Structure 1
Amino acid sequence: MIDVSPKPDSLRTATARAILRGSPAAIERLRARSLPKGDALEVARASAALAVKQVPLLIPYCHPIRVDWVDTRFEMSVDTVTIDVTVRAVDRTGVEVEAMTGAALAALTIYDMLKMIDDTLSIEGVRLLEKRGGKSDHAVTAASPLRAAVLVASDTVAAGTKEDLSGRLLVEKLTAAGFLVAPLLVVPDEAEAIAAAVRRWADEDRLDLVVTTGGTGLAPRDVTPEAMDTVFDREAPGIMEAVRDHGQRRLPRAMLGRGRAGVRGRTLIVNLPGSRGAVADALAALLPGLPHACLMLRGEGHADDPRGGAQVS
């Protein structure tokens, strides 16, 4: 199975469709709910819900998920019944296979309950109609490429006695996310050196994003959060709330982080820990929303709400 443990939970929705074709007489009996075995539509509705919840037992590499909602709808013509199954979950992976399995089993259930009166029945495929949630919902289009910089705050890295891993990871991941990243900068754990570098990137280079790594813990030389006192015009507390919540689900020591996030001019600034693992966890939580935040600061508008206008019941 694919390891989804680094991924944050998000709202996932998928709708799949199956079409069953039969004789007009059989479809009319289905519509009238007068079949020998009972009401096939209601049994199929229950079958879809059961099937969705059994997917990990049926398909080996599908992850168990916490299904929050299954909705099954039927539309009948003279000789067909169209079955649409929508599945919703707040989890780390999508629900497309669950929706398709639900639609398929609903169609098979109706087939089973109609077959004694119609030997021409056929199921004409199962397909995905729509999926929402995950990385595809967070794609943004900027008028010009988003620009970023990474600052490593570390006495030992600055002195050359320790290799930088976190800064390089940040550059790699931000570049992969579409940012144009300035050359990596390393400074010692000195508040003014940290603040001066961030101010220069915000005021002179007018970057969209500055990410610092290091100096956010409880050690005497961890001064990055204090350095932001002379940098931020305003705080963005929700960003680090997301980082700490995500981190603490994986490592209890994440509660010791004091990193801050805020804005200077039109630049978003985020303080991350110095540990490579902590940076990787933080990026899993942050990257879905960082480009959108940068576009908001540019004044380029809000992204569509991935929840859409879907009915909730």
Structure 2
Amino acid sequence: MKNVGMKPDTLRSAHAAARFYAPADCLERIAARDTEKGDPQASARIAGILAAKRTDELLPLCHPLPIHAAEVHFSIEADHVAIEAEVHTIGPTGVEMEALTAASMAALTLYDMLKPYAEPEALSIGNTHLLDKTGGKSHYSRRLEAPLAATVVMVSDPVFDGHKPDTAGRQVADGLIGAGFDPVDYRLLGDDPQAVGETVDAAVAAHTPLIVTVGGTGIGPKDKVVETVEPKLTTPMPGLMETARAFGQKRSPYAVLSRGVSGFIGNSLVLTFPGSRTGSEETLAALLPSIVHILEIHQRFASGR
């Protein structure tokens, strides 16, 4: 079963379709809502909705999801019933399978209710397919359309002195490369506010679109990155780090310890990530779609498009 624990929740929807083929007299019964078992459209609708809500029990590798809305619609055509199912959730993975299962179960229910009125070979189900889906990576891109430069600054005395490997800053740099940032300039500094400030200023002066510091956002006596970066912000964007902390708190109560800040310094987006490997990984996972979106919008403004 795929691990979706590092994927942010988003509003997701999916629409799927299926067709139930039957003779004309069966289609008339469906239109009239008249079979010996009752109203076929009403029964198939409820069956489809229930199937959407219980898809994880039917398909072994599907994740259980909160289904916020589900509906099934029917259109009676010349030789078939066109079935469409729509499903909506807020979660870390999509609801394509829930929509497909809903459409399929609705078709099966029509088959069951109409089988007394036709020979087996006269009834069939087909053309089950996904119509569309929204949300997640297909809607909120995690990769740049065109490369942009980034600077990653790891701030840690133990790492700078060689007493500890850098598993956080390098991970962030690799994540940005995977998202299409190029070149990615990696810097390693000790807990020196002056050096941090000068490095950030140099990256801003070089018109670097994205600057990420890693470390120095906690409550230790040497954690001064926030105090160094925050006065420089010309356009604070507190929602970014608020989102990262909220994402982290669902995975560890210690996420509240990060005092990270974010915003633009001139034309550079600056983010201050926590220094732990887990904290930096969670922060990038939570913010990457927003980072991509913000920078692409900003680039359009800068180019006058």
Normalising by the smaller structure, the TM-score range is over 0.9
- Deviates most, 136-145 or 177-186: 136-145
Query: Offset at 1:189?
Result: 1.2
Contact 1:21 1:81 in 2 (8 A): yes
Query: Offset at 1:144?
Result: 4.2
Q: Distance in 1 between matches of 2:276 and 2:142?
A: 29
Contact 2:15 2:131 in 1 (8 A): yes
Q: Does 1:262 align with 2:263?
A: yes
Q: Distance in 2 between matches of 1:255 and 1:273?
A: 11
Name the SS for the 2:185 alignment partner.
coil
- Deviates most, 100-109 or 191-200: 191-200
Measured against aligned partners, the alpha-carbon deviations of 1:17-47 in whole angstroms (never above 9, x if no partner) come to: 0101111121112111122221100111100
Q: 1:155 aligns with which of 123, 140, 157?
A: 157
Query: Offset at 1:230?
Result: 3.8
Alignment correspondent of 2:224: 223
Q: Distance in 2 between matches of 1:79 and 1:275?
A: 62
Q: Distance in 2 between matches of 1:68 and 1:52?
A: 11
Measured against aligned partners, the alpha-carbon deviations of 1:129-164 in whole angstroms (never above 9, x if no partner) come to: 111111121238867422111001111222222211
CA 1:54 to 1:144, structure 2 compared with 1: closer, same or farther past 3 Å? Answer: closer
Q: How does 1:184-199 map to 2 (within 5 A)?
A: 184-199=186-201
Query: Offset at 1:74?
Result: 0.8
Alignment correspondent of 2:99: 99
Per the normalisation by structure 1, the TM-score is 0.92
Alignment correspondent of 2:109: 109
Q: How does 1:232-311 map to 2 (within 5 A)?
A: 232-300=233-301
- AA aligned to 2:218 is G
Name the SS for the 1:211 alignment partner.
strand
Q: Does 1:136 align with 2:138?
A: yes
Alignment correspondent of 1:176: 178
Measured against aligned partners, the alpha-carbon deviations of 1:68-111 in whole angstroms (never above 9, x if no partner) come to: 11011111112210000001000111111111011000000011
- Deviates most, 283-292 or 100-109: 283-292
- Deviates most, 275-284 or 224-233: 224-233
Q: Distance in 1 between matches of 2:201 and 2:298?
A: 16
Contact 1:51 1:105 in 2 (8 A): yes
Per the normalisation by structure 2, the TM-score is 0.95
Q: How does 1:117-136 map to 2 (within 5 A)?
A: 117-119=117-119, 120-136=122-138
Alignment correspondent of 1:65: 65
Alignment correspondent of 1:211: 212
Q: Does 1:56 align with 2:69?
A: no
Alignment correspondent of 1:82: 82
Identity of aligned residues (%): 38
Measured against aligned partners, the alpha-carbon deviations of 1:210-237 in whole angstroms (never above 9, x if no partner) come to: 1110000000000000001342112100
List gaps (5 residues or longer) in structure 2.
none
Name the SS for the 2:269 alignment partner.
strand
- AA aligned to 1:128 is L
Name the SS for the 2:198 alignment partner.
helix
Query: Offset at 1:259?
Result: 0.5
Name the SS for the 2:212 alignment partner.
strand
Q: Distance in 1 between matches of 2:240 and 2:16?
A: 34
Q: Does 1:12 align with 2:12?
A: yes
Query: Offset at 1:267?
Result: 1.0
- AA aligned to 1:199 is D
- AA aligned to 2:110 is I
- Deviates most, 42-51 or 129-138: 129-138
